[in-house]
Structure 1
Amino acid sequence: MSGLDQRIVLAPEDGSLGPLLRIADDRLGPHSGYGRHGHRAVDVVAVVLAGSLRHRWGVGAELTAGDVAVLRAGAGLEHDEVAGDDGARVLQCYLRSAAPAAEPEHQVHRAAAGWLDLGRADARLWLARVAPGESVPVPAGLLVVRGVDGVLVEQQPGRRVQGPGAVLVWQLDTAVPEWARGW
């Protein structure tokens, strides 16, 4: 594979998932990137599933499978992300910014597992990697499982999830935001 193969797995346009705007399952070929682009008033949570990714903004960051990067675009920034020699597989989760006028910042959480502190009251993220033949109990919320056969997305009350796969659970304040009222 060369270039970028992006598959949108969730994109509610009615604000029904509170701050969660979109989840994309991205595959990048070796040394492929998104191209320099801008973000404003959005937080991007990038979960690296496989391969490696170099984030090009500020001092930059090298990410490998299991790492989670949180980019808070705030008032705006331009950046790029480029896959390493082995390409990359990334779940890109976009949230409406909790602080749209703030200065941009970037945090990397290495080998993230369990609850990840996103520093915001309206969204929580839980992560696990499940080996083949194993299962893991997951908390209630919006379940996103990247398995062998694709991506499963479902609202659920908490259950066990069979591996193999990367598992995310979003707990979201789903009160309809002001901008979405009247849809």
Structure 2
Amino acid sequence: MTGFDQRIVLAPEDGSLGPLLRMADDRLAPHAGYGRHEHRAVDVVAVVLAGSLRHRWGDGAELAAGDAAVLRAGAGLEHDEVAGAEGARVLQCYLRSAAPGAAPSHRVHRAASGWVDLDREDARLWVGRAAPGESVPVPAGLLVSRGRDAVVVRQQPGGAVVGPGVFLVWELDAERPAWARD
């Protein structure tokens, strides 16, 4: 792999997943980055699946495999993310902004496990991991399973999943937020 490889995993155009707009499985070569780019009125939840990533905005942040970062672009910001020496695999989840006019912010949840506080009422994220053959109970919702070569997404009622892997579950409220209603 050279540079950057992005695989769009999910991009519902009908609003059926409420605030969840898009999900991408991004792979960055060692020291490769996205390039300086702008975000506005979107929240981006980045889960580092492998490797490491340096977030370049504000004070910056170093993210390792297992970390989840919540970037609230709000009124707008420019930033970049650059992979570490071993490259990075990152699941980027884009959500409609919880506060489109707010000042931007960035928060890192180290070694995310269980429920991750997204500080919003219309979306909840659960993160779990399982060793090969290990069974892990997951909550009901949109299950995202990381495989070696792909990410699989499916609605499920909750229950046990068997590893190996990283598992994310999104609980989403499909109703439009009050600020977006006519």
2:161 corresponding residue in structure 1: 161
Structure 2 runs not aligned, ≥5 long: none
What amino acid is aligned across from residue 172 of structure 2 in structure 1? L
Shift of 1:180: 9.6
Whole-angstrom CA distance in 2 between matches of 1:179 and 1:119: 17
Shift of 1:130: 1.1
Whole-angstrom CA distance in 1 between matches of 2:40 and 2:150: 30
Shift of 1:35: 0.3
Aligned counterparts, 1:1-183, within 5 A: 1-176=1-176
Shift of 1:148: 2.6
Q: Which digits, 9 at most, give the CA deviation of each residue in 1:121-167, with x for residues without a partner? A: 00000001111111101000000001235211011110211111110
What amino acid is aligned across from residue 141 of structure 2 in structure 1? G
Q: Secondary structure at the match of 1:145?
A: strand
What is the TM-score of this pair, normalised by structure 2? 0.96
Work out whether residues 21 and 94 of structure 1, in 8 Å CA contact, stay in contact via their aligned partners in 2.
yes
Shift of 1:59: 0.5
Identity %: 80
Runs of 4+ displaced beyond 6 Å:
177-181
Shift of 1:51: 0.3
**Which segment is superposed worse, 151-160 or 169-178?**
169-178
Structure 1 runs not aligned, ≥5 long: none
Whole-angstrom CA distance in 1 between matches of 2:107 and 2:67: 10
Shift of 1:172: 0.4
Whole-angstrom CA distance in 1 between matches of 2:128 and 2:94: 19
Work out whether residues 15 and 177 of structure 1, in 8 Å CA contact, stay in contact via their aligned partners in 2.
no
Q: Which digits, 9 at most, give the CA deviation of each residue in 1:93-143, with x for residues without a partner? A: 000001000000000000000001100000000001111111101000000
Q: Secondary structure at the match of 1:14?
A: coil
Q: Secondary structure at the match of 2:79?
A: strand
Report the aligned-residue RMSD: 1.6
Work out whether residues 147 and 163 of structure 1, in 8 Å CA contact, stay in contact via their aligned partners in 2.
no
Shift of 1:9: 0.4
Whole-angstrom CA distance in 1 between matches of 2:81 and 2:132: 30
Gap change, CA 1:54 and 1:149, over 3 Å in 2: closer
